[in-house]
Amino acid sequence: MNHELSVVALSESISSAGNFVLVLENSVSKQRIPLIIGRTEAQSIATAMEKMEVSRPQTHDLFATTLNLLQADLKQVVINRFEKDVFYASIFIKNKTEIFEIDARPSDAIALAVRLGCPIFASEEVIEQASFISEDKFRDKKGSYAEFSLEELEQLLVSILAKEDYESAVRIREVIEKRKNR
């Protein structure tokens, strides 16, 4: 069974310099999946989400225009595997007579989905292996950040940024940086 997801946050990664964290969430279960993506894909997703006009088409715009001219539709994006810390996805394209499943990087697939307004899904296996529930996971750990692992701090930071609580985010980033410089 696949679970529908939506983009809830996009921020610069602290643990992976030059990259970004894209957070997808199941609105029913509140499970979140963080994906590390490149700068170019992050810019493409942000541009599409904010409906910004660009002077020249980006790669994902070109692909979307090509689909339109070929009278094909992007029906869905499915993040279908998570192996050795790598996510795998497929895009499903429908023309007049057939549906094609095409292997794609999740970041590219999501950039297309955001542009074309198509749903994003994750398989049950991906949800089980790679998701977390931000609210409940951190509720019992209040006060000092000393109890948190580095990974938990980074997940908490993503959750805090999604809520646009930038003051807390600054404090958490400082703790993360101190830990990394030990």
**Residue position matching structure tokens 């307004």:** 117
pTM of the model: 0.74
Structural domain harbouring 99:
2-133
Q: Within a domain: residue 172?
A: no
Q: How far apart are CA 56 and CA 30, in angstroms?
A: 37
State which H helix or E strand residue 89 sits in: strand 86-94
Could you list the pLDDT tens digit for every one of the 182 residues in the chain? 999 999 998 988 877 788 999 999 998 888 999 999 999 999 999 999 988 888 999 999 999 999 999 999 999 999 999 999 899 999 999 999 999 999 999 999 999 999 999 999 999 999 999 988 765 444 444 456 776 778 888 888 887 777 667 777 788 888 888 888 87
Q: How far apart are CA 123 and CA 126, in angstroms?
A: 5
Q: Within a domain: residue 164?
A: no
Q: Within a domain: residue 162?
A: no
Domain count, the chain: 1
Q: Within a domain: residue 124?
A: yes
Q: Within a domain: residue 138?
A: no
Q: Within a domain: residue 148?
A: no
Report the CATH number at residue 126: 3.10.690.10
Q: Within a domain: residue 146?
A: no
Q: Within a domain: residue 74?
A: yes
